[in-house]
Structure 1
């Protein structure tokens, strides 16, 4: 099934984050002192295309006036096309600031045409633009539908219905008919349906073959050829900020625009990212300050922006800008081939390993890597030496000690090991900690550390008090400095607590 979505950006490059600005704002775009585009409210005041600036000021004095910038329009259109590559690899640019997407093979992946249109609109809104969408079985038909309405979604999924809808569209939407509009209107031809009823031979002699070819392509009577957009080999996007921004949290809206482009690039290249670098640039010249850099390293490579947005939100909330930011850039540091996960028939109730990694990354971004630790035990019999913890982001080459596979092979160990053992008093020759402690296990002798000249000789016990709380205590034997093999009176210490 061939199905196309045309994304029309009617007022480039006005970066407004409110999706309804074309409905509640009178806005006019000028090109060489003549109107090139106007919003619905401006048209309601009587503003039309090719009108001079003086006439606009007379009819709609409250209208916001902007000058057209072709370079910015071209850059914004390319950014939009790159971001939309996450929905289909077959995208191309069309006339009048349109991006055409062949989404016939993407419908099932994104849950149908309605869900896909909503996702496309949301992606373009995160880029800062408002659009009108057209959906049709032909690319030219979708292009005409998108340009026929402002901020509307016009969907036609069957070719006969598309032909009936196109018959009612004004002839001025067909760019190939623009040079001949005066003559065509003079003979009463004002809609595409009227144009199709004219004799083809005479119409070709007067208007040329391109007009008939464009008309046939829109109605599905002629094949369409397109030049697909190709993603660059590496990703680096930069954006100038509209003002000097002093708070890092405000930059999230602009960072999402860069993330949206990166996700389109990743999908087009079939890659997943493991590290991204966000730079916030400050003043230049004599007051130049080094940019503020945020580096996010991921445990699992991903290619969707939902998790990345959460991580950036947490990192930006903890970031203090030395100087106001005037621009920002995003680059993909480390990438690898995309590994698509297959859906299991019976998914794990506790979540997938990827969900666990994303939770750890979110906690690291929120609390800092020094506060999120993982166990990294060392091969040593001394508990205070073997019980080692390191940051989850520590990728050092020190390998953790291998633990026995059978839990019964391990002696009892407490869940909470104290950083420093607490000395215990003796009452009636028994250790005392609030109440007298009674031994509930045999002694476990640990004698080690002689290779570091820190020999330790201890007898560990599991002890219980009158409240049935279990402790891990040890009796330490200390050598007499004057007699090599003699021991002094043992000392008791509390080293851990059982859950």
Structure 2
């Protein structure tokens, strides 16, 4: 359980501390008497401002218009994005999920006006009044009228006067004569009421995302297992997602630094770099990749902090305009699957075929790690034109198999009958020279094979040797 103090008085507490009997306004000694095991923290305005900035950066993925307001509140103008996120309820669920990934809890409300939403959120957080959601002005006015006057900051200095005249709610305040209310409480009170009810135009200074992204997180404790760092990495990824959406960018490479202890036992940070085959701007795929990478990392020293940066970004690609989806998934989904396999199995265990300019079948291909890129066309010499149009087998054996000869015919389960003309391949004079005549052969079971006869120079009396090199499906 946790307790936050300001001037030796409790201002915030966890549900476990509340269940132990601790209440806001209680002194430190009284709180520790009720719960000696409670963790006591002093309020830090600097850390609160940093946390608010982290949340604002993450909320930029839902709208580019995010502004800060009084009492640690953020305002998001999401009116133009409701259909994109599936409506108000779906948007609220996604925002709550993002805040949970950041490690924070919040009171959400929505209304046609920003000040109205702010008052509804304050009513739920402080007074426990209101549902926190009003989709129309009529519903907003009904909910605002039931809220207490103390929620308006300009009215708090005059609460005794309001109580003396029997004005306890915003509805009763709104029905008071405006000239007298302005002379008594000032113009800011009326301006805030007009903003909440949509009678005036609200102006805000929108939060701007930085030009480059680099976010750090100090862990609460020393972490000795890499897989326990995923929660902290998700917090940083949420901020990066908001930054990417604000700039309309997609990330092609990220870098996560695992910071170790400082001092005499200081060690350089452990670097985790993820290079993506296709740039993304959502965090779900990056979380899966980081989970696999962190599961394979063995820490040399405990980790006390994380730093995430996006060194390589590119403009966000527009969505596909194809009418019908591709069978077997989109190319983006297949690319993400390959990246997940690389992160889980290792770069050296996921290979891709890369053709080479060589006539010899066993040398016409090489296997490279999947993240490797195909060299430029000028770097790979093209084969000469006019190659034979004979088909190739779907399965090429790793090593050719020598065939027996029966009745002057190659034998593989049954005598083989040649059903094609010869295809002569001569290559490798600079190294392992090969001279072969390839045929398509058919067995008694009507299966087709790719065989070749070795051409032997200077040995006219020696019978030619036959080999099986491939199987047709």
Aligned to 1:416: 395
Deviation for aligned residue 1:183: 3.2
Counterpart-to-counterpart distance in 1, 2:58 and 2:143: 30
Counterpart-to-counterpart distance in 1, 2:376 and 2:465: 34
Of 344, 347, 350, 2:328 maps to 350
When structure 1 is superposed on structure 2, of 36-45 and 289-298 the one drifting more is 36-45
Of 217, 235, 242, 2:213 maps to 235
Counterpart-to-counterpart distance in 2, 1:77 and 1:231: 13
Matches within 5 A, 1:40-439: 48-57=23-32, 65-150=40-125, 154-395=132-373, 397=375, 399=377, 410-439=389-418
Change (3 A) 1:116 1:37: same
Change (3 A) 1:468 1:294: farther
Residue 447 of structure 1: SS of its match in structure 2? strand
Counterpart-to-counterpart distance in 1, 2:168 and 2:229: 48
Counterpart-to-counterpart distance in 1, 2:260 and 2:277: 30
Counterpart-to-counterpart distance in 2, 1:405 and 1:80: 61
Change (3 A) 1:153 1:461: farther
Counterpart-to-counterpart distance in 2, 1:42 and 1:182: 32
Counterpart-to-counterpart distance in 2, 1:153 and 1:391: 55
Counterpart-to-counterpart distance in 1, 2:16 and 2:415: 85
Residue 208 of structure 2: SS of its match in structure 1? coil
Q: Deviations over 1:325-344 (max 9, x none)?
A: 22111111211111221453
Deviation for aligned residue 1:214: 1.5
Change (3 A) 1:418 1:264: same
Answering whether residue 450 of structure 2 is matched by residue 472 of structure 1, we say yes
Counterpart-to-counterpart distance in 2, 1:384 and 1:68: 70
**Paired residues of 1:377 and 1:401 also in contact (CA < 8 A):** no
Deviation for aligned residue 1:62: 7.1
Deviation for aligned residue 1:103: 0.6
TM-score normalised by structure 2 residue count: 0.90
Change (3 A) 1:271 1:453: closer
Change (3 A) 1:456 1:314: same
**Paired residues of 2:22 and 2:31 also in contact (CA < 8 A):** yes
Counterpart-to-counterpart distance in 2, 1:186 and 1:52: 31
Change (3 A) 1:159 1:27: farther
Deviation for aligned residue 1:245: 1.8
Deviation for aligned residue 1:233: 0.4
Change (3 A) 1:82 1:217: same
Change (3 A) 1:493 1:322: farther
Aligned to 1:35: 10
When structure 1 is superposed on structure 2, of 424-433 and 111-120 the one drifting more is 424-433
Unaligned runs of 5+ in 1: 1-25
When structure 1 is superposed on structure 2, of 220-229 and 320-329 the one drifting more is 320-329
**Paired residues of 1:449 and 1:456 also in contact (CA < 8 A):** yes
Counterpart-to-counterpart distance in 2, 1:270 and 1:293: 27
**Paired residues of 1:448 and 1:455 also in contact (CA < 8 A):** yes
Counterpart-to-counterpart distance in 1, 2:266 and 2:410: 66
Unaligned runs of 5+ in 2: none
Deviation for aligned residue 1:202: 2.6
Aligned to 1:496: 470
Residue 261 of structure 2: SS of its match in structure 1? coil
Residue 80 of structure 1: SS of its match in structure 2? helix
When structure 1 is superposed on structure 2, of 336-345 and 121-130 the one drifting more is 336-345
Change (3 A) 1:74 1:379: same
**Paired residues of 1:376 and 1:401 also in contact (CA < 8 A):** no
Deviation for aligned residue 1:267: 0.5
